[in-house]
Amino acid sequence: MNIVACVKQVPDTEALIKVKPDGSGIDEGGIKWVMNPYDEYGVEEALRLKEAKGGEVTIVSVGPARAMETIRTALAMGAEKGVHVSDPLLDNTDAYTTAAALAAVIKGLNPDIIFCGQRAIDDDSGQVGSILAAILGIPQVTIVTKLEMADGKIKAIKPIEGAQLVIESTLPCVITTQKGLNEPRYASLPGIMKAKKKPVDVKNAAALGIATEPKAKVAKMTPPPDRAPGKIIAGDDPAAKAAELVRLLREEAKVI
Amino acid sequence: MTHGGDILKVGNEGREVFWNAPFPTEPILFLFTAIVLAIAAYGVYLRWQMWTAIGKPEDRTDQPKERIRSLIINGLFQVRTFREYYAGIFHSLIFFGFFVLIFGAAVDATQFHIGLPFFHGKFYLWFSLLMEIFGLAVLAGVVMALVRRYVLKPDLLGYQGKPDNTFDDAVVLILIGAIIVTGFIIESLRIYVNYNLDGYTWEVWSFVGFALSHIYTGISYDSVRMAHKVMWWTHSFLTFAFIAYLPWSRLMHIITSPVNQYMKSLKPKGYLEPIRDFETAETFGVGKLEAFTWKQIFDSDACTRCGRCQDGCPAYLSKKPLSPKKLVQDIKTHWEDRVKIVLAARKLAKEKGGEPEIPPPDKALLGDVIDMHELWACTNCMYCMENCPVYVEHVPKIISMRQCKVLMDAEFSPELQLTYRNMENNSNPWGIGGHLRADWAKEIGVKTLAEDPNVEYLFYVGCSGSFDDRGKKVSVAFAKILKAAGVSFGILGTEEGCCGDSAMRGGNEYLYQSLAQANIELMNGYGVKKIICTCPHGYNALKKDYPHFGGNFEVYHHSEILADLIAGGRIRLKKAVSSLCTYHDSCFLGRYNDIYEQPRKVLSAVPGVRMVEMKRNLEKSFCCGAGGGRMWMEEDIGERINDMRTDQAIEAGAETIAVACPFCLTMMADGIKDRAMEEKMKSLDIAEIVWDAMDLEEAQAAPAAPSE
Ligand code: SF4
Ligand code: SF4
């Protein structure tokens, strides 16, 4: 079976994010980059499927040169090979262009199933998997927490408000993965060492023949406003302080 | 007593060595001696073959002087054996008794063959007396041992409440007892004749035999002579049995224990050989018996099942499946099974030619022989190693097996996986953003080395001191003390990284080395020479393991620095801190680094502090439960180790549990909470106590910020 898992490199959830003064994006200095956690579920599921049914897992990522580390991480977990779409013209591009780049790579891989994280934790757009399925013209099941495969079909479980849907789909299809699907494995040391030698194709936009002009652009990025400092009510008389507290809660905070 | 007056008349006292045992006694004795020695030698040879059959090479013969010293202290003088009094006493009675008796037998033999010019008179009398005393000593030792094993049945001679006595245990004790008893009987029979018939009045010096000889009053001298002959041969054959049986029984420890003591590790305590060939090695850690070194295997054969290691093992005592004794014995049993197969296969190959075909083991070392709950229960507290009389090394074995589970199989608890990811991504086990590492220092204005590298000490804060709320308070207190004492120091700030101890002890040597290397590069870059750590885990790693990777620093623990500052009068403790304090020894400070005294000295210097010791202290201290990566893992089997330790402090009546380790601090605070003792007890780091006693905190007139 040909299995593809798409991964994105994102800042670690704990990283200190500073917006560039011109609002064009974030300042990347000092950031620890990791694999998007939702993509990890996809890689893990791809590996489990391969272990159960045989086949090969290919990792595809669109991102700057540093994204290679994330591809290697997935290879260390056990994937066979990788494709890295690396092109300055695609840096910080939109969901559509990313999906188009992925589609261009994946078409040539002739996959049976494709995994994407349900969203990336950096821009939270949650569109790439769906656009990818649309471009490839294949079905998609999103936000999956359980997956089974039998007789050339998949059966997926997707939680919805207060219930869950059981969805069947033919193959090939795109699955977007949600927390709960599995526990991603820890790479073994031989895995890490072998990953250094596994093949990764590096391609640019021209080689894939895709348009690089994004359809959507981030016009401006602003940091969330600083939290207003707390107030300490001074005074010696507890009754007066309590009265002041009530007044502030009603008039300033408007919570009572 | 008609002959009493003659006792002091010194002259002809002595005896004929082979009295009443005419020819052909001597040739028969020689023949049997030769036979039993051959049997014993063959037994040792077979064992030798087994010891050398499998295992990786390891040099344990360097520094012979040091090794002989260890042998004399612990082999000859039985120093470690005495750490447990009852067993120490009975073992010494038997051990020293035997030593002297064997010496006596040698004197006897020499007298017979060559003749000793001094084997009569005063010498003979004192010799007789000495033999009596030591004969009795051995007998008393055997009785004590029998009582302990079969009547008192202490838990350490079993596993989870069930004694693990073997048939051999009884045989050996009874054999030794029988040799001594028959010896006394022979003597008494001889004395009965010599004293009463021949008038050897000096026989009273052999007081046991003399006392026993009265039993025979009225029996004819010929019958007694006959009985003497029979007993004499019984005694001789029991002794032969002892020699022949030695290599096939627990008596083998007479050889293996001193050998193991001679080959003990001379590296710093808690030393772990780093993995050096990540790029080229195909396997990491120990996943099968053959991956141990020969010494690690020999260790398990040298284990005497004395159970001392188990007796203070926090994992075992908190009812987890791990017992260091059982672990070592399980490896031994597995080895005995496996080595026979290996040797047989090699023999066959030798006969037939070609390579030996060694079948794979039917039991996996990891999983079948050693259960995973056992493997992961160890806190690396080192109680076992520090108290094993024969220097069995448990902890390196446990870590190397963990290495296999983590590095090779990547099969270990999800909590620990998360911890390792956090350490990888944010260089701390909690996974808190690395940019917050120096926030604790903001308010008190500690300079980083980036701001001023010309300081005497680097204060390596570590993860707990940087991120944990309690730990941060300790860092603040200690930094304030240093400032007040005018010590020149700086921190690494947000550049600092995790020391890696939890990764290393949890088997993730790869992660550990990458963290260590990052720190070392940074420290070397700033030209750091002296380092102070408040966390004993970082202290131990920086001091003992970082030199492997080019990090050679003078490393101090804050308890050492505090003790020095107080002794040198550089800080003054003015305020009385009235509290009944017990000091809880951190394993990584005490057993790993022999720092027992300094923290106690610091506490004793604080006015108002009264000290009380818990029952388990110093090298027998009880772990808090957080070492060996256990800090980050669920504790879902048995009791909680920290609660047990808290109970011990409660039992001692302590109001304050003073610690010198942030892990211990957390564990004790949790224990106090679990036992609902927050009103009556608290846990504090020694630095907090000292800072409080220095009484330099600006008058806290303003209402204190609400604590969490
Ligand atoms: S190091 Fe401590 S926890 Fe581990 S086996 Fe030894 S005594 Fe038990
Ligand atoms: S390992 Fe050492 S302490 Fe433990 S039972 Fe064996 S000999 Fe005794």
pLDDT of res. B23: 59
Chain A contact present for B435, CB below 8 A: yes
Task: Tell me how close the Cα of A26 comes to any Cα of chain B, in angstroms.
Answer: 16
* Nearest residue (CA) to ligand 1, atom 2: B381
Predicted confidence (pLDDT) per residue in B81-99, tens digit: 998 999 999 999 999 999 8
**Nearest residue, CB atoms, A189 vs list B284, B412, B426:** B284
Q: Enumerate the residues of chain B whose CB falls inside 8 A of the CB of residue A12.
A: 425-426, 433
Model pTM? 0.92
For residue B1, is pLDDT > 50? Answer: no
Q: Enumerate the residues of chain A whose CB falls inside 8 A of the CB of residue B282.
A: 190
Of all atoms in ligand 1, which is nearest to the CA of residue B380? 1
* Binding site membership of B328 for ligand 2 (Cβ less than 6 Å): yes
Chain A contact present for B417, CB below 8 A: yes
Assess contact for B176 and B94: CB atoms under 8 A: yes
Q: How many CB pairs under 8 A join A and B?
A: 44
Query: What number is the average pLDDT over the span B454-477?
Result: 97
Domain B289-408 falls in which CATH fold? Fumarate Reductase Iron-sulfur Protein; Chain B, domain 2 (1.10.1060)
pLDDT band at B629 (very low <50, low <70, confident <90, very high): very high
* Binding site membership of B306 for ligand 2 (Cβ less than 6 Å): yes
Domain borders along chain B are 25-262, 289-408, 415-701
Report the residue of chain A nearest B280, measured CA to CA.
A193
ipTM of the complex: 0.87
Q: What is the mean pLDDT of chain A?
A: 94
**Nearest residue, CB atoms, A12 vs list B407, B410, B426:** B426
More confident residue, A183 or B353: A183
B contact test, residue of A10, A14, A48 with most B CBs within 10 A: A14
More confident residue, B102 or B419: B419
Burial class for B27, CB neighbours closer than 10 Å (0-12, 13-18, 19+): exposed
Predicted confidence (pLDDT) per residue in A82-107, tens digit: 999 999 999 989 999 999 999 999 99
* Binding site membership of B327 for ligand 2 (Cβ less than 6 Å): no
Which one of the ligands is nearest to B299 CA? 2
Task: State the DSSP string of B100-150.
Answer: HHHHHHHHHHHHHHT--TTSSHHHHHHHHHHHHHHHHHHHHHHHHHHHIII
For residue A183, is pLDDT > 90? Answer: yes
Strand A81-85: give its sheet, edge to edge: A140-144, A173-177, A113-117, A2-7, A56-62, A81-85, A200-203
For residue B9, is pLDDT > 50? Answer: no
* Binding site membership of B395 for ligand 1 (Cβ less than 6 Å): yes
pLDDT band at A224 (very low <50, low <70, confident <90, very high): confident
Residue A199: how many CB atoms within 10 A of its CB? 10
pLDDT of res. B124: 86
A193 and B432 within 8 Å at the Cβ level: the answer is: no
Query: What number is the average pLDDT over the span B423-428?
Result: 95
User: Long-range contact list for A9-12, CB < 8 A, 24+ apart?
Assistant: A9/A33, A9/A34, A9/A35, A9/A36, A9/A61, A9/A63, A9/A66, A9/A67, A9/A69, A9/A70, A10/A34, A10/A35, A10/A36, A10/A120, A10/A121, A10/A122, A11/A122, A12/B425, A12/B426, A12/B433
pLDDT of res. A118: 97
Q: How far apart are CA B111 and CA B607, in angstroms?
A: 68
User: Long-range contact list for B239-242, CB < 8 A, 24+ apart?
Assistant: B239/B179, B240/B32, B240/B33, B240/B35, B240/B36, B241/B36, B241/B175, B242/B175, B242/B176, B242/B179
User: Long-range contact list for B176-179, CB < 8 A, 24+ apart?
Assistant: B176/B94, B176/B98, B176/B138, B176/B142, B176/B242, B177/B139, B177/B142, B177/B143, B177/B146, B178/B238, B179/B235, B179/B238, B179/B239, B179/B242
Q: How far apart are CA B484 and CA B87, in angstroms?
A: 51
Q: Enumerate the residues of chain B whose CB falls inside 8 A of the CB of residue A34.
A: 425
pLDDT of res. B294: 96
Domain B25-262 falls in which CATH fold? Fumarate Reductase Cytochrome B subunit (1.20.950)
For residue B435, is pLDDT > 50? Answer: yes
Q: What is the mean pLDDT of chain B?
A: 93
Report the residue of chain B nearest A77, measured CA to CA.
B410
Which whole-number Å values give the CA distances from B707 to A208, B469, B470, in the listed order?
Answer: 59, 10, 11
Chain A contact present for B431, CB below 8 A: yes
More confident residue, B24 or B366: B366
Parallel, antiparallel, or unpaired for β A146-150 and A153-160?
antiparallel
Predicted confidence (pLDDT) per residue in B343-360, tens digit: 999 999 999 988 889 999
pLDDT of res. A187: 95
Predicted confidence (pLDDT) per residue in B125-182, tens digit: 898 899 999 999 999 999 999 999 999 999 999 999 999 999 999 999 999 999 999 9
Q: Enumerate the residues of chain B whose CB falls inside 8 A of the CB of residue A32.
A: 425-426, 434
DSSP state of B195: H
Of all atoms in ligand 1, which is nearest to the CA of residue B309? 7
Q: Enumerate the residues of chain A whose CB falls inside 8 A of the CB of residue B434.
A: 14, 32
B408 and A188 within 8 Å at the Cβ level: the answer is: yes
Query: What number is the average pLDDT over the span A28-44?
Result: 95
pLDDT of res. B115: 79
Task: Tell me how close the Cα of B298 comes to any Cα of chain A, in angstroms.
Answer: 29
Look-up of token digits 């699907």: A181
Q: Map out the domains of chain A with their CATH numbers.
A: 2-208 (3.40.50.620), 228-256 (no CATH)
Q: Residue B632 has which token pair?
A: 């980050």
Give the angle subtended at the CA of B508 by the CAs of A7 and A191, to the nearest 5°.
Answer: 45
DSSP state of B218: T
B433 and A185 within 8 Å at the Cβ level: the answer is: no
Which percentage of chain B shows pLDDT scores above 70? 96
Task: Tell me how close the Cα of B507 comes to any Cα of chain A, in angstroms.
Answer: 12
**Do B289-408 and B25-262 have the same topology in CATH?**
no
Cα torsion for B69, B71, B72, B76, to the nearest 10°?
A: 170
Query: What number is the average pLDDT over the span B663-668?
Result: 97
For residue A235, is pLDDT > 90? Answer: no
Query: What number is the average pLDDT over the span A66-94?
Result: 96
Residue A68: how many CB atoms within 10 A of its CB? 17
Helix/strand/coil percent split, chain B, to 5: 60, 5, 35
Report the residue of chain A nearest B508, measured CA to CA.
A189
Parallel, antiparallel, or unpaired for β B457-460 and B530-533?
parallel
Pick the range with the lowest mean pLDDT from A82-91, A103-112, B274-283: B274-283
Of all atoms in ligand 1, which is nearest to the CA of residue B382? 1
B434 and A14 within 8 Å at the Cβ level: the answer is: yes
Q: Enumerate the residues of chain A whose CB falls inside 8 A of the CB of residue B435.
A: 15-16, 30
Note the Cα B413 to chain centre separation in Å.
28
pLDDT of res. A256: 79
Ligand 1 centroid from CA B323, angstroms: 8
